[in-house]
Structure 1
C-alpha cells in the first residue's frame, strides 16, 4: 500500500485546484480538501470553497483500464437529469485539461443525508421504514428505465444495439487487463469459465433504455428525515443507453436475502437482508409491475452482475499491487474475487436461486 500523503499528492494539487475554482466557481476560499474512501472506482474528494460544499470526482492515480473511469460522461448525464424525476446532485463545473490535476474531473454540489453501506441510520431501523426505503430504491430505478433519453438530450448516449454482447466482451477485457498483473500473485481460473458461459448465453434481443450502470444501495443517498426520501443517485460513470435488465441483474446481485449463502464479503454489509426490507423477489415483482418488463434470462443477468463485480474488484487488486490506490479494501480482493467466481458458478448451476 502506497503512503497516504504520497497518493493524495497524486490526486490533487492545492494551488492548481484553487486557481481552477477561482475561474470556474468564483472567488472564494479558503480551500479545504477531504479524501472520501467509501468509493471503489473513481476517487471522491470533499472540497470546501468558502461557504460552498462541493464534491470532486476524478479517476484514480496511475494506469487504469480503458473506459472504466469516465467522469466526464458522469458529469454530462447528471447535468441532463437535473430537472427530471431522477434525483441527482447539481453539477457545478467540469475540467478536461489534465494539466490541472493530472486527470479529467468534475465538481458537484454536496448533498446532505446518508448513504447506506455498513449500517443504516437509526431512523430507518424499523420494518416499516425499511420497506418504504426499499420501495423508493426500486421506484427510482424504474424512473431511470422509463425516462425518454431524447427529452433530456441523451439520445446520442452510447450505442444500444448490441449493448449486452459488447458488455460481456468489455468486462472480459477488463478482467484480462487486471490479470496481466494479478495472475503473478494468484489466479482465478473459474472467472474465465464464467466468461465463456456468459459469451455462449448472452441475449441478443432486449429493450433499449437509459441505464445507470452501477445501481446499488450504496450509490444512492437518503435525506435526513423520515419517511425515507431518496435525494440523490451517484456514480453515473458507466451510464449509457442499452439493456435495462443488465442494470436490474447488477442490482439483484448486490441485494441479499436472509437465506443467501454466507461468504466473507468486504464490500457488502447485507443490511438489506434485515427484517422489513423487500426480498429480491419482492423488489423484482415491483419493478416488473411498474415497467411491464419481464426479467427473462435471469440466470444470465444475475451471473453477469456478479462477473462484472468480480472484474471490477480484480482491477482494484491490480491497482493495489501496483501501488496506485490507498483503499484498505483493495488488498482484500485477493480472496474476495475467487469467492465471487464461486458465487457466479452457483447462480449458473441453479444453487443460488432468485
Structure 2
C-alpha cells in the first residue's frame, strides 16, 4: 500500500528560498547536509506545509500562510512547544527538530519536524484500501480512543499546565470566533448574527475538567500504520491546541463528520470518508466518547453547533484572504459557498434539535 502523501512544486507566491533555508538549517544541526529539495503538500488550508528532502532523508516544514492572519493564529513557537512537551507523554506526535524565530530567514517564524510515514485519509478511501463495515467501525473506535487519550494527558507532567486558560473557555471561544467572523465577513456570506446570538445565549456550564485539546482532530489529521491501517500512529497539525473544555474539542470534530444519511448538499461538502459503510454516525461517536472518557454529555447540540460555526469562521478567514488577493490557491474560490452551507446547517440543528 502506498503511503507517500502527494506533494508538488510550491504554489506561485508560496515558494521558499532553498539556498537561504539550507544555509540556516546546516548551522543549526549537522543532520541537515547536502542539497535541499523542497515540495509542498497539497492538503491543508491554514498553515503551509512543505516536504524537505536531502538525499534519502525527509523532514516536514510548517510556516504561517501569506497575507492577513488572525492576531493570535499561526503561532509556530507555540506549536513547536506543544510537540516538544508531548513527546514524553503522548506517543502520537511527530518529533520536532528545530524552530526558527528569525524572520530574516523566511520572513516569518517556522519549524521543522520529523516526517511520520503512513496513510492519511482524505475525502474518499484510497482505491487500494479495502475496509469492511466492521473495519470501518473499528477505525472509528480507534479515532475516539486517541482523542480520549489526549484529553487524559497529565498536563502537569507534560509541562503544559500554563498552555491555556481553561476557566471561562466556552465563553471566550464563542466571543472570539464571533468577533473573527465579523472581521473577516465578505458581502456574499450570511451575517450569522442570529446564530452568534444563539451561541451566546445557550452556553452550557463548564464540564469541570480542563484537558489538552487538539481543536482540529479528524481523519486527515491522523496518520495510519501502512501495515495495519486500523492503527493510528500519528496526530498532525497542532496549531490550535490548548487547554480547554474537551467537549468543545469533540464538537469541533463532529463538525467534519458527514454521515451517509446527511442531505445531498452536505455530502457535496464532505471532506472525509465518514460516510463509508460501517462508519459511525455522529451520535455513535458521541456515545463512544462518553463511554470511553467517563465524561457525561448533556447538551451535545450546543457543541455541534459551535463546531459548525467555528469551521465556518475558519473557512471565511481563508476565503477573505482569497477574495482580497492575498492567496492565489484556486481551491479557496468556493469557500464562500462552504461558509453559507455551514451556517445553514447550524441553524437547522438549532431549529430541529437533532444532529
Say yes or no: TM over 0.5. Answer: yes
2:79 matched to 1:61? no
2:204 matched to 1:203? yes
- For 1:24 and 1:124, locate their aligned partners in 2 and report how far apart those are by CA, in whole Å: 43
> 1:25: which partner in 2?
29
Moved more, 299-308 or 169-178: 169-178
- For 2:113 and 2:272, locate their aligned partners in 1 and report how far apart those are by CA, in whole Å: 29
> Pick from 17, 20, 24: which aligns with 1:16?
20
**C-alpha deviation, 1:266, in angstroms:** 6.4
Give CA deviations for 1:246-272 in whole Å, capped at 9, x if unaligned. Answer: 000111121122211221566634511
> Pick from 77, 95, 98: which aligns with 1:72?
77
> 2:337: which partner in 1?
335
Question: Which structure 1 segments of 5+ residues have no match?
Answer: none
> 1:87: which partner in 2?
92
SS at match of 1:205: coil
8 Å contact kept, 2:258–2:267: no
TM-score by length of 2: 0.92
SS at match of 1:210: strand
**C-alpha deviation, 1:71, in angstroms:** 2.3
> 2:109: which partner in 1?
104
- For 1:97 and 1:104, locate their aligned partners in 2 and report how far apart those are by CA, in whole Å: 6
- For 1:124 and 1:80, locate their aligned partners in 2 and report how far apart those are by CA, in whole Å: 36
More relative contact order, 1 or 2 (CA 8 Å, 6+ apart): 1
Distance 1:118 1:257, change over 3 A: closer
Superposition RMSD in Å: 1.9
- For 1:192 and 1:96, locate their aligned partners in 2 and report how far apart those are by CA, in whole Å: 38
Instruction: Please list, as runs of the form range in 1=range in 2, the aligned pairs for 1:235-246 lying within 5 A after superposition.
Output: 235-246=237-248
- For 1:252 and 1:270, locate their aligned partners in 2 and report how far apart those are by CA, in whole Å: 12
**C-alpha deviation, 1:61, in angstroms:** 0.9
8 Å contact kept, 2:12–2:328: no
> 1:166: which partner in 2?
172
8 Å contact kept, 1:71–1:105: yes
2:141 matched to 1:135? yes
> Pick from 45, 52, 55: which aligns with 1:50?
55
- For 2:116 and 2:27, locate their aligned partners in 1 and report how far apart those are by CA, in whole Å: 23
TM-score by length of 1: 0.92
Give the aligned length: 344
Give CA deviations for 1:63-91 in whole Å, capped at 9, x if unaligned. Answer: 21111212222111111112324411111
Moved more, 203-212 or 333-342: 203-212
- For 1:8 and 1:115, locate their aligned partners in 2 and report how far apart those are by CA, in whole Å: 23
SS at match of 2:290: helix
> Pick from 293, 296, 299: which aligns with 2:295?
293
Kindly indicate which of the two structures has a greater share of residues assigned to helix: 1
- For 2:87 and 2:130, locate their aligned partners in 1 and report how far apart those are by CA, in whole Å: 27
Distance 1:328 1:46, change over 3 A: same
- For 1:110 and 1:270, locate their aligned partners in 2 and report how far apart those are by CA, in whole Å: 22
**C-alpha deviation, 1:325, in angstroms:** 2.1
- For 1:344 and 1:5, locate their aligned partners in 2 and report how far apart those are by CA, in whole Å: 33
- For 1:6 and 1:289, locate their aligned partners in 2 and report how far apart those are by CA, in whole Å: 48
- For 1:137 and 1:283, locate their aligned partners in 2 and report how far apart those are by CA, in whole Å: 9
Give CA deviations for 1:211-241 in whole Å, capped at 9, x if unaligned. Answer: 1111111111111112511111111111111
**C-alpha deviation, 1:345, in angstroms:** 0.1
2:226 matched to 1:224? yes
SS at match of 2:286: helix
8 Å contact kept, 1:60–1:324: no
